Amino acid sequence: MNILLTTAGRRSYIVDYFKQCNGVGKVYAANSAYTIALQRADGYMITPLIYDDEYIPSIINYCKENDIRVVLSLFDVDLLVLAKHRSDFEQANIQLILASKEFVEICNDKWKTYEFLIQHGLPSPKTYNTLNGVTEAINNGDISFPLILKPRWGMASLSIYKVEDMDELRVLTKKCEREIFSSYLKYESCMTKDSPIIYQELIAGEEYGLDVLNDLDGNYIKTFAKQKVTMRSGETDLGRTTTSEPFESFAKKIAANSHHEGLLSVDCLKNDNGVFFIEFNCRISGHYPLSYLAGFNYPQIVVDWMNGKGINEHNLQFKEELYIIKDLVPMVLNYPGYRYNEHKIRRLTKLMGGVNNLSLALYERLAA
């Protein structure tokens, strides 16, 4: 049973996790430029850019040529494009493991995420999607400084600001808008160009990442919780595995109303007043490796599902109170003739603000 991981970027460890599974065939990876994850895969393809008309056909053709039965994406933008073409994959007898198109849109759009949370009675920081709306709320005493200002379609913690007063609110709104529409965020933000920013109540507390597992019919199975001790470029750098008890009832409600397939990543805050939910990502997240090292073997569960087996309880183990840190290991990239010219690198570094964990599919788009 062969698997393809799309927009694999630098997540070579996910490739390794799948390659170590019992019952797996070959593990392939795809990206629009050569990366270390492709180097570690059993085979790889260099794809067109995500929004290219040939992107989906090229993936389907590659799957047919290599007898690939299942596709998982590792990047938010890619998820929505794949979800919109689910029927094309089904006609080719290829299974996508992800949420519905409608729920992917909720996950990617932070305003829709907030609306989903409120609709289903899930606690969340007060949120507004226009400058006039948040200004009125401040004047009415419904919300107070400091606030958090961030892109509505943001990823990897780009252009997130803490706002202390009205002057900063106006200035940072303009700054955030400029940054959005001069970066890769403009492609998604153009869908909501009149309200590309959200303004959120600042809630103090410990930040947690949850892995909420559903089966392929959208039925809830289990939740795994990790405290995000330190972050780097929007990903958990140092984390602590912990009990899921404070989050369990909320996770069941999210799972029941999302009907997502497989893994849903949930970000939330916890303090003495309770739990407050912020964001969803319907994919293997940056904090999933903590769960894997604690015993939750999601790749093996996927492989077993694809081979017609149920879940082995051994793969749902989860050891609490582990502190887990990510490591950076320099490696030689084995790709003859692979180069990024100096001008392109300088331009990308400036545009990305030093962030180094984004899909190279978007690097290529920026440098075009």
* Cα 30 from Cα 361, distance rounded (Å): 10
With respect to residue 121, please indicate whether it lies within any of the assigned structural domains.
Answer: no
Domain finish residue from 176, 201, 226: 201
With respect to residue 116, please indicate whether it lies within any of the assigned structural domains.
Answer: no
With respect to residue 248, please indicate whether it lies within any of the assigned structural domains.
Answer: yes
214 and 321, same domain (yes or no):
yes
5-26: pLDDT as tens digits: 999 998 999 999 999 999 999 9
Q: Structural domain tally of the chain?
A: 3
- Helix/strand/coil (H/E/C) assignment for every residue in 68-98: EEEEEECCHHHHHHHHHCHHHHHHCCCEECC
251 and 194, same domain (yes or no):
no
151, 197 contact by CB (below 8 A): yes
Residue with tokens 């950076």: 328
74 and 154, same domain (yes or no):
no
232 and 150, same domain (yes or no):
no
224 and 306, same domain (yes or no):
yes
121-136: pLDDT as tens digits: 999 999 999 999 999 9
With respect to residue 82, please indicate whether it lies within any of the assigned structural domains.
Answer: yes
With respect to residue 43, please indicate whether it lies within any of the assigned structural domains.
Answer: yes
Domain that holds residue 191: 126-201
77 and 187, same domain (yes or no):
no
- Name the 3-class secondary structure at 126: coil
297 and 247, same domain (yes or no):
yes
- Helix/strand/coil (H/E/C) assignment for every residue in 234-252: CEEEEEEEECCHHHHHHHH
CATH number at residue 31: 3.40.50.20
CATH number at residue 273: 3.30.470.20
Largest Cα–Cα separation, the chain:
62
Q: 328-341: buried (b, 16+ CB within 10 Å) or exposed (e) per residue? A: eeeeeeeeeeeeee
What is the bridge-based pairing of β-strands 161-163 and 147-151? antiparallel
Among 22, 7, 18, 16, CA closest to 56: 7
The pLDDT assigned to 13 comes to 95
Spatial CB neighbours of 274, under 8 Å, sequence gap ≥ 6? 123
With respect to residue 251, please indicate whether it lies within any of the assigned structural domains.
Answer: yes
197 and 226, same domain (yes or no):
no
The pLDDT assigned to 197 comes to 95
The pLDDT assigned to 91 comes to 97
How far does CA 279 lie from the centroid of its chain? 10
* Cα 292 from Cα 317, distance rounded (Å): 9
With respect to residue 347, please indicate whether it lies within any of the assigned structural domains.
Answer: no
The pLDDT assigned to 353 comes to 46
Ranges of residues in the chain whose predicted pLDDT is under 70:
156, 184, 186-187, 233-234, 336-368
Domain finish residue from 167, 182, 201: 201
Among 202, 161, 200, CA closest to 178: 161
How far does CA 262 lie from the centroid of its chain? 14
How far does CA 278 lie from the centroid of its chain? 13
Q: 187-212: buried (b, 16+ CB within 10 Å) or exposed (e) per residue? A: ebbeeeeeebbbbbbebeeebbbbbb
CATH number at residue 191: 3.30.1490.20
With respect to residue 78, please indicate whether it lies within any of the assigned structural domains.
Answer: yes
134 and 187, same domain (yes or no):
yes
- Which residues does residue 70 pair with via DSSP β-bridges, in sequence order? 3, 95
